[in-house]
Amino acid sequence: MKLAELEPRWWRFDDQGPRIGLTFICPCCKGTKRETRLGIAFHHAGHEAMEDAYIKAHDGKNRFIWTEDGETFDNLTVTPSIDASASGHWHGFITAGAIC
Instruction: Measure the CA–CA gap between 4 and 41, rounded to whole angstroms.
Output: 18
Inform me whether the pLDDT recorded for 58 exceeds 60.
no
How confident is the model over 1-49, as pLDDT tens digits?
A: 999 999 999 988 887 777 888 999 999 999 888 899 999 988 765 444 3
What is the band of 59 on the pLDDT scale with cuts at 50, 70, 90?
very low
Spatial strand order in the sheet of 19-25: 9-12, 19-25, 37-41
3-state secondary structure labels for all residues of the chain: CEHHHHCCEEEECCCCCCEEEEEEECCCCCCCCCCCEEEEEECCCCCHHHCCCCEECCCCCCEECEEEECCCCCCCEEEEEEECHHHCCCEEEEECCEEC
